[in-house]
Structure 1
Amino acid sequence: MIGNFCGNKYTFCLVYLLCVGFVCEKPQAKSFTIEQHNIDLGVRPRLAYIDGSQDAKSASMLFRIRANSEWTEAFSSTIEIDYVVLGLQDEFSNGVNFNNNPVIPDVEGIDVNQLYFTYSINNVSNVVIGREVINLGNERFVGSNSFWQNEQSFDTAGIDYEFASASSFVYRYVSNANRITGDQAGVNLRPSDANFEQNNGRRPASFLGDHTHNTHLFFTEIREFDHAVLQAYFFDMDIEEMRLLSNQTLGLRYQYRSRFQSYKASLDAEYAVQRRQELGDNRRFNYYKLGLGIGFKTRDLFLRYEVLGENNDASFVTPLASLHDQNGWADKFLVTPAKGLRDLSVQTIWRISPFKLDIRYHVFTSELGDEDFGKELDIDLSLKFSHNNTLLLRFADFNSDNVRYNSDKRVFLQYSYHL
């Protein structure tokens, strides 16, 4: 939608930032009716390593500049430009370059991550158009995949509406998904690419940087209860480059949170039904998730059971999800197996400022036939120096005797400022 608008080496975006800088420097300029401008800078260096049947390692750095502008009481805009640099590029594969090493999906280059305009109506409704990051609910179905250096964003138009005392409704029409594989991951492979001949010079659709959409997203969140939140959603996803992942999904999620003195309790229950229209036989797929949690002071314990169902050699899909955040940090199940997926997991969190320790253990099996896919241990250790400064060590250890999945260990070390 706005790709052409911001083309030609991001000329428009550069002019926008220069205008904002000029106005911020000269707030009395009478030619502008501007109430407020905020410019934020962020940075995130990262080292990554995969130890498995094949090794991979990468070094990357994300630089981000973001400007929020209020042009009038009703009209505002946001622009966010990312620049990513890479090291050790021959030691890993990504969506742009394939070299037979394991994939670490961080890509190099400059990208307009967000550029959208908002018009507010009576302080309860917003009309939004442009390129934006969208995170709906727990990001199981729609999210930005923000762990990676290049976020997923969407070219959209839609509305935000607030109702009752604390509830909201979101609608977006999506014309394009700007994926984590980046703008350089076009249709044609480079002749020097190791996969050029095997793929007849064409990049696999799953690695393309852009997917053309005719997608409608409806999401409602009701917060009218003391301890509970109810979310309802309908997603009609039509993906041109990957027709088989197009789907219509209707779901409901219930969250309960309570606290009594130093004790905490939580319940999460979610159910969704999906039709994958391109399969042609009107098959239905079920999704459900149940989570229970208890906590005391700085410690929390959670038990979760998630099922992505199958039906006749096909399965429930979530192509726009924040996939790294689901089903283990080793990223073994970015695509749901044809036999479906069951994920039984236990998580414990321990906080003692400025440290946070998050440990998770997953047992993965198929829904059909209860086939053992593998087990995974995930550990996060974070050190939060201040509100804007965080150091993170992430470790994932996936083990499997299944011939479909390779065992490996993954380590990420990163520092983030204002991200």
Structure 2
Amino acid sequence: MKNLNLNLQKNAISAALGLVLVGSSSFAAHADSFAEALTSGKANANLNLRYESVDQDNDVKDASALTLRTLLSYTTGDLNGFSAKVEVEDTRIVLGQGDYTVGPSGYNPGVYSVIADPEHTELDQGYIQYKNDTVTAKIGRQVIALDGHRFVGHVGWRQDRQTFDAASVKVTPSKDLTLQYAYVTQRNRIFGEDADLDAKDHFINASYKTSVGTLTGYSYLLEVDNDTDNGLDTYGVSFAGATKAGDTKIIYRAEYATQTSESATTEYDASYLNLEAGAVISGITAKLGYEVLGSDDGAYGFSTPLATLHKFNGWSDQFLATPTQGLVDTSFTLKGKAFGGGWTATYHVFDADDSADSGIDDLGTELNVSYVKNFGKHYTAAIKYAAYSAGDTKVDADKLWAWVTVKF
């Protein structure tokens, strides 16, 4: 009996040691996989040196800025579909060329015209991601850009781009259908941390590709989390595509949205319309655009506060906030290639959607021209100019940009 007990004890000890060894081996394997995922990632850098000048017929001094934006990121390797990304952003004034105003950051308030590139250092992105063949999910600080940036974008034109603290998911159940949702708890705006906003935003977007274009439906339900009653709810649909007519490519877009803006004391309703038609002939693109950010009887203008606004309604940024009279932007654009780079020229005519009793109807005109050229995979140089001529409101303004970007 004694020998039997000894044998049982020996067998139990052997089994326990075996489990420990197997567990240790499994733990070591997982640890090795985790370490490999952390160390087998990819590092990236993006440096953007830009000069900007602003000449306006107003009471403040003309502005000029030479700033360098540095973007450093590291994305880990994949471990069972999981990965992570960390990205840090920094902007500095170069050679003391900082004669400009950034109101929200308190830099030279009321002295110069505005150039919205404050000196800053911050976490640009920091998220954990899960991805498989159908689903991509992220939680943390991230870039979100939808619908060509018209309603939700990263404002990448500015040196401090816009990101969101959010949980997001993108599902592609088929190659033609894409479903996206994001819940945002903080909007990280373009003025460093000085203008960040706590939020309770919902982004809902679904798109379906057909042989003649993409049909998209969306709901953007925005709320600033500041213990007040507020809401900005937008529902819309768009269709955009292209077709061939012989050697000519025909491009088209139609979009319509409705919006309700609510506070404790007011409620406004406005609508949005965007129509585009164009053609590509011998490498030259010609496009006519008609965009209406509607008004509620001259008291409120359709708003897109999270858009990459510089991309729309003129590069001089006269209409970052829609006038209460609304905005009708009729534009004509030409684009093409020359000397190894790309050029663009756009002319805008701005009118009020509803002048009501304000007497404001003519909102001015604007000419935009640019030239961008890549030098290999890592270098880009560009120049851009905007000339705004005032109408019944605002003042004339000229803006010039020149920049060099290095990325690797």
* Residues 171 and 219, structure 1, Cα contact 8 Å, conserved in 2: yes
- State which of 156, 160, 164 in structure 2 corresponds to 1:154: 164
- 1:145-224 to 2 correspondence within 5 Å? 145-183=155-193, 185=194, 208=195, 210-223=196-209
The Cα of 1:100 is off from its aligned counterpart by 2.0
Matches within 5 A, 1:299-318: 299-312=284-297, 313-318=299-304
Matching residue within 32, 54, 65 for 2:35? 32
Q: Check conservation: 1:354, 1:385, Cα contact below 8 A.
A: no
Distance 1:296 1:244 in 2: 52
RMSD of Structure 2 on Structure 1 (CA): 2.1
Q: Which amino acid is the alignment partner of residue 67 of structure 2?
A: S
Which residue in the other structure is 1:295 paired with?
Answer: 280
- Whether 1:324 aligns to 2:327 is no
Partners of 1:139 and 1:321 within 8 A in 2: yes
The 8 Å contact of residues 327 and 343 in structure 1, kept in 2 or not, is answered as yes
Q: Does 1:93 align with 2:101?
A: yes
Map of 1:228-267 to 2, 5 A cutoff?
A: 228-240=213-225, 246-259=231-244, 262-267=247-252
User: How far, CA to CA, are the matches of 1:376 and 1:364 in structure 2?
Assistant: 8
Partner SS state of residue 138, structure 1: helix
Task: Say whether the 8 Å CA contact 1:298–1:352 is kept in structure 2.
Answer: no
Aligned to 2:21: none
Distance 1:230 1:388, change over 3 A: farther
Could you tell me which residue of structure 2 aligns to residue 136 of structure 1? 146
The 8 Å contact of residues 316 and 399 in structure 2, kept in 1 or not, is answered as yes
Distance 1:387 1:356 in 2: 16
1:47-75 alpha-carbon deviations (Å, 9 max, x no partner): 01111224110010011111111240310
**What do the CA deviations read for 1:378-397 (whole angstroms, capped 9, x no partner)?**
00111121233211101000
Residue 392 of structure 1 pairs with residue 377 of structure 2 = no
Deviation of 1:134 after TM superposition, in Å, equals 0.8
1:114 alignment partner AA: Q
The residue aligned with 1:42 is 46
What residue is the counterpart of 2:27 in the other structure?
none
Tell me the distance in 1 between the aligned counterparts of 2:97 and 2:328. 35
Give CA-to-partner distance per residue, 1:116-153, whole Å, 9 cap, x none. Answer: 11123x52112210000111011110001100110000
Identical aligned residues as a percent: 24
Residue aligning to 1:4: none
TM-score by length of 2: 0.85
Contact 1:268 1:291 survives alignment (8 Å):
yes
Alignment of 1:78 onto 2:85: yes
State the structure with more CA Rg: 2
- For the Cα contact (< 8 Å) 1:245–1:317, is it kept in 2? no
TM-score (normalised: structure 1): 0.83
> How many Å separate the matches in 2 of 1:242 and 1:395?
42
**Equivalent position amino acid for 2:171 in 1:** Y
Aligned to 1:416: 405
Structure 1 CA distance for aligned equivalents of residues 229 and 285 of structure 2: 39
Residue ranges of structure 1 left out of the alignment (5+ in a row): 1-27, 186-207
Matched residues, number: 365
Q: Closer, same or farther in 2 for the Cα pair 1:41/1:296, shift >3 Å?
A: same
Gapped regions of structure 2 (runs ≥ 5): 1-30
> In structure 2, how many angstroms separate the alpha carbons of the residues matched to 1:364 and 1:134?
29
Spell out structure 1 runs of 4+ moving beyond 4 A. Answer: 28-31, 241-245, 279-282
